[in-house]
Structure 1
Amino acid sequence: MRRAAQIWPFRPTVRYTRQVAEALRTETIGGIVMLVATVVALIWANISYESYDALRSTKIGPEFLHLDLELVKWAQNGLLTIFFFVAGLEVKEEFVHGELSNLKKAALPIIAAFAGMAVPAIVYLLVSWGAPDAARGWAIPTATDIAFALAVLAVTASAMPSSLRAFLLTCAVVDDLGAITIIALFYTDGLNLLMLGAGILFLVLYWYLQRKHVTSWWVLVPVALLAWYFVEVSGVHATVAGVALGLLTRVHSGPDEDYSPCERADHYVRPISAGFAVPVFAFLSAGVLLDNESLSLIFTDRIVLGVIAGLLIGKFLGVFGGAWLSVRLGLARLSDELNWRDMAAVSILGGIGFTVSLLIGNLAYSGDVARTNAVTAGVLAASFAASVAAAVLLRVRIRNRLNAQDDV
């Protein structure tokens, strides 16, 4: 009894910590935490925008390492690196063990994902044509938020066939890979080749340690941090280092390993990403002033209208049209469990840009606060509308499926 009394204060803490971490590995809880952070940011910004802006503009970090960054920059360049590291792990798993390992199976979501990036960009450019600096924002509606989209699917349509989730996950993973490529190619300023070379060197070292089955975190984490640091100071956006580290992580377990490094990293890092990194980024990025002027821009500013049209119309046309065309041309095959009404409903989820769209919007218009806020409001409005529309259609699809089963 005395032994139990000695340890009882610690046991619940460990148990509850594990339960919270396990919950954060599910799309539903992660999406809810991110949504709560967004709502809190919007409420705070509209109660006292000055204090909210002062918080996210606060600089911390060692100046001699060129890391004296504002909190919002730490969220964009630091915390989102964790998110993209998890995305990199998902891409690697999909290529080795998932849908992307089979070209015939992968063709449908891959073609849908590429079309789902190209068509929104075209729609954006058509709508925003002629507006000042419109070209800088072409990539904003090309992204889909994996966590948010899967959370909506999990909450509203868990009874749908698993192949629908596999399609959305694979499509979103390819989409994220495309987004990080866009960031690396089009949103890099003042490239320092020496620092980039050092970053690549540490990425190669990380890959070598993975091949040699080095699993000690006190070796791998410092190497990963140094890779992140040198990529960050090179001028390339640091999230590129995150996805690169994820792709370089070993997915096959050794003879003396129960789990692969990829599985272990995903197990430990995903709760940090879902429970801290992404919500903090959302909190520091989503707080916009929703006054009459800001709200009017949603309906009058052609760049904001282009973002909204790209996410709501372009994403649907791209994802659904790409999937339909790939099947029509014989390049891919639709699962026997699904029909085109299911695909139409899930394609609307592609319009949930959120995390990556907010990041690209901040990169595209980093020197224009008013424009950044307007674009942020547009991304939030489009993501919310896409979530609601997809949720309604998915519920209709479930009801129709149940009715069809009862008739049989």
Structure 2
Amino acid sequence: MENRSNGGFQPSEKIVYLDNAATTPCAPEALAVVVEALSGACGNPSSHYSIGYEAKEILDRARAQVAAAIHASPAEIFFTGCGSEADNWAVKGSALTKARQNKRHLITSAFEHHAVLHSMRALERMGFEVTYLPVSPEGYVRPEDLEAAIRPDTALVSIMMANNEIGTIQPIKELAEIAHKHGVWFHTDAVQAVGAIPVDVQELGVDLLSMSAHKFNGPKGVGALYCRKGVWPQNLIDGGGQESRHRAGTENVAGIAGMGAALELAVSHLEERMAHETQLRDYVIDRVLSSIPEARLNGGRAPRLPGNVNLSFPGLEGETILLDLDMHGICASTGSACNSDSLDPSHVLQSIGVPEEIGHGSMRFTFGPQNTMEEAKYLCDVLEEVIPRRRAMSCMWLQGQNTARQFSRKGEK
């Protein structure tokens, strides 16, 4: 893996993929199901003849697989084009449904994915009122803050199950109980959680839950929304009678088949996968914090997604580190891939109090089941060479070391 010449690292011929929070490689088992569906079941699943019935059977099987993975009923699973569509449907559809009961107040957190935040902004332009709950410095929504924010006209609470940038896992069960105590629907964006940690909708008590296939080694372009029986957000897409007349459009049969297969595979090896990714995560966190001065972990250590490492390297720009890592064959990110074209500091890091000049030097490394300890060690080797070298050339580092030291690796100011 390591390739040294003249005392420095040279570009690696092997790609080390450490951006699994952005997307994951499609599992061979899921890919095989996709190819089989594309090659065989060419009928429309709404058509009443044999090859249409064959396509419908593929949909039914995948729906049952997805439902079983989160302990739901197949009738509560509705396929979408992606996780963002599922979030939009849950948030906007619930708001429009509840508006008929004169409930026009919504609650979310300050560090949600933009699919939720931008849906909330759109609803504000339509006259809805939104409360954005603060987040603790460790990256958690406090139940007492939700309790204080709920009003008689609250229609929906939407809190993500696990943050996509810093990996902190939220107390969803407790938050949902608070919402239900006041008769309020509860939605969770579980795109980063499903397939990565145990998700049981019965245990969590949520009304709506979003997921996306490409986050758990399924194909891109397909997601799903769980709607608890009796909870019906207004349709987002109108047209035909697909998905029990709740989401129009001819179904992506092959993609849905791949989603079902991938999720079934993910949950069948979940404990093993979690243990493996946790080992890699903790190795990188412990080694970087001990070997690179003023490096800081963003978000609490626990509860945290098994594969998530989010670190700040004060004095540097994340984009610079990203380019250096790419030269060494390492794929990572400076935050959410959905906002990668923006140079603005991460709203997630801002929400937990990370100063802007430090937030700009943050990197996210996310492990998957295919990653190895050799790759984790290689990442640390490269960081231990790149960060000091870049800092030696950085005016930001020379001028800002006091700020970095005040904002220590433990997050204490």
TM-score, normalization: structure 2?
A: 0.25
TM-score, normalization: structure 1?
A: 0.26
Say which structure, 1 or 2, has more relative contact order (CA 8 Å, 6+ apart). 1
Structure (1 or 2) with the greater strand fraction: 2
Structure (1 or 2) with the greater helix fraction: 1
